[in-house]
Amino acid sequence: MGFRHIRTPPSSDELFERAVRACREASQAGGRSRLEKVKRRHLRCVKSSSSLVVSSLREVYRTSPYIERLHPFYRELCSIAFDVNTYRLCLSRVRSVERIVRKIALESLRSINAATETREVIRARRGFFGRLGSLLESLEECLMLLREAASAMRKFPEVNTEVPSVIIAGAPNVGKSSLLRALTRAKPEVKPYPFTTKSLILGVLELERVGVQLIDTPGLLDTPLEEKSGIERQAILALRHLSDAVVFVADPTETCGFPLDFQQKVFVQVVNLVKGSPVLLVANKLDIASEEHLRTFESIFEHTEYLAISAEKRINLDKLVDKLHSCLRGSTKWRNLLPST
């Protein structure tokens, strides 16, 4: 899903200035000598201005997503990024103002048509712009919030919620991005220090005829949910709402900078988050891990079944792919895409 289509709402001042320009352009032709010519000029002015404002406001609420219709992953992302209740109220307010603009335009057009003097025509037009300016000014706070919301949503990761998804999780700097790069064509930034991944990074792994979505998440810390950073919360939401399977990457060598006790606590946190989805534990950096490293790893992870790999040297990645294939074949999304398998 993408949010690139969302229109950035104009400010009330910008919209009013555009309405005035539309009036000026629409009423250039014709003289001032006769009442009917003056009427035609001002009718074109009000029609053009109101049409511009109405279409602009309509585009705002028609391109702004309804929170209730979004996938739960995106609904919660929105709740983190902005006040969704105020967002709903503001969309409703934009629709209401759009209807009122159409109403006052109609009233002004009637007044212009009924005018018997030039000054009555001018008064009707000025009355329209006076009411329009007040309406748009009252809408500015909502337009500002909707601009901020649109900006936030356009930065959301474009996740396909219809295909099987594998979340790559773990503590910072354990090799998650290296694993994503080894399994897919994605090119995440990989550096030898924690917190390199600043957001969700996606890659595609082809299994049979299915493009499986692999999602590299920012490193998780062993902290309560309310204390987690924004990038950690994205990882939590992905685990909670997108995971058909999880690859938990651990570093038995502890060169990531986080001890195994800490990594094991994060592992338990992830398992509790994704109840119902299989979690594959992998011990990365096999190319530099000693037997003692692995024995300590097995002890601390309480002899949980795991697969030792090296993302950097591509050791045992074929076995990991086979395990993922077995896990995903039973998922609902897989069956929907390949019902005969």
Q: What is the pLDDT of residues 79-101, one digit of tens each?
A: 988 999 999 999 999 999 999 99
Domains of the chain with CATH codes: 12-154 (1.20.120.1190), 165-337 (3.40.50.300)
Which of the four pLDDT bands, split at 50, 70 and 90, describes residue 27? confident
Does 341 score more than 60 pLDDT? no
Task: Show the DSSP H helices in 215-285 as ranges.
Answer: 230-241, 260-273
CA angle 274, 278, 280 (to 5 degrees): 110
* 314-337 average pLDDT score: 90
First to last CA, the chain: 26
Residue with tokens 């299915």: 210
Q: Looking at residue 6, what is its pLDDT? A: 82
CA 92 remoteness from chain centre: 21
Instruction: Please say whether the beta carbons of 269 and 235 come within 8 A.
Output: no
Helix (H) or strand (E) run with residue 203 in it: strand 201-207
pLDDT tens digits along 282-312: 999 999 999 999 999 999 998 899 999 999 9
Alpha-carbon separation of residue 275 from 205, 272, 279 (angstroms): 24, 6, 9
* DSSP tag of 184: S
Q: Which two tokens stand for residue 153?
A: 């949503």
Average pLDDT over residues 28-57: 85
Q: Give the strands of the sheet with 201-207, arranged side by side.
A: 201-207, 210-216, 165-170, 245-250, 279-283, 306-308
Give me the phi and psi of 75, to 5 degrees please: -60, -45
Q: Which residue reads 């014709």 in tokens?
A: 30
Among 46-60, 98-112, 180-194, 207-221, the range scoring the smallest mean pLDDT is 180-194
Give the separation between CA 74 and CA 49, rounded to whole angstroms. Answer: 36
The arithmetic mean of pLDDT across residues 34-50, rounded, is: 92
Q: Distance between CA 321 and CA 183 in Å, rounded?
A: 8
Q: What angle do CA 326, 332, 335 make, to 5 degrees?
A: 70
DSSP helix/strand/coil, 152: helix
CA distance linking residue 285 with residue 264, whole number of Å: 16
pLDDT score recorded for residue 187: 56
55 pLDDT more than 60: yes
Name the least confident of 76-85, 168-177, 182-191, 198-207: 182-191
Give whole-number Cα distances, 84 to 76, 154, 200, in Å. 10, 16, 22
Find the mean pLDDT for residues 2-31. 83
Q: What is the mean pLDDT of residues 146-168?
A: 91
| Average pLDDT estimate for 236-253 | 92
Structural element, H or E, at residue 341: none
What predicted TM-score, i.e. pTM, was given to this entire model? 0.78
What mean pLDDT is predicted for residues 203-207?
89
Confidence band for 227, pLDDT divided at 50, 70 and 90 = low
Q: How far apart are CA 331 and CA 338, in angstroms?
A: 11
Give dist(CA 7, CA 257) in Å, integer: 44
